[in-house]
Amino acid sequence: MEEQALILDAVHGDLDAFNRLVLAYQQMAFNVAVRLMADDDLAEDITQTAFISAYRNLGGFRGGSFKAWLMRIVTNACYDELRRVKRHPTTALEPVDEESDEEMDSPTWLADIAPSPEEAFEQAELEHAIQHCLDNLPEDFKAIVVLVDLQGFDYSEVAQVVKRPLGTIKSRLARGRIKLQECLRQFWELLPAKFRLEDKSL
């Protein structure tokens, strides 16, 4: 996909070009939204709203990372919804039926493991515990952890998305990881032994 050519065509009203951009980024946008909202239906609605907003505002895209520009629209839409409904994080720890995201790659204790049938229930417990702990992070911390550790964005891209300096990104990421670690310790006995955190780990 020649992204810049598609963006240029979309800016000039080519709906097909924009639809190809949507296909390229819709899964990433949904993954970010579902992690920030912890609700598949809301995440789907927000993703659709974000793409509509992106299409209407393509003329305001001034180059750089289109991915970062788009994910900023998604995260802002999530923040707006969270503030509107004053949503509270869930405290339940139950297995979920939905497939878990396959984006968790850093740090090691957040790693997504493709489960065998025998491991599916344990993986569901881990997934739900991680989402619960993500929901307890402050908004800015949560967005940074989601973008870096679950979606693989580099620091400069995250800085564009959340409009914060690189130093702030690194600091909040480190603190967010520590908060997640501390939260997951509450579920020490519920999580499979291989997912339990050692005191020395981050």
Using alpha carbons, select from 45, 64, 52, 51 the residue that is nearest to residue 24.
51
Regarding the domain delimited by 108-195, which CATH topology (the fold level of the hierarchy) does it fall under? Arc Repressor Mutant, subunit A (1.10.10)
- Say how far apart CA 11 and CA 8 lie, in whole Å: 5
Q: Is 80 helix (H, G, I), strand (E, B) or coil?
A: helix
- Please report the pLDDT score of residue 200 as a whole number: 44
**The dihedral sign for the CA sequence 76, 78, 82, 85:** positive
- Please report the pLDDT score of residue 148 as a whole number: 94
- Please report the pLDDT score of residue 178 as a whole number: 92
Options 3.40.980.10, 1.10.3430.10, 1.10.1040.10, 1.10.1740.10; which CATH number does 3-85 get? Answer: 1.10.1740.10
- Say how far apart CA 49 and CA 52 lie, in whole Å: 5
Q: In the numeric block, which tokens belong to residue 10?
A: 């979309």
Segment 143-187, tens digit of pLDDT: 999 999 989 999 999 999 999 999 999 999 999 999 988 888 887
Residue extents of the structural domains in the chain: 3-85, 108-195
- Say how far apart CA 201 and CA 185 lie, in whole Å: 12
**pLDDT at residue 197 greater than cutoff 70:** no
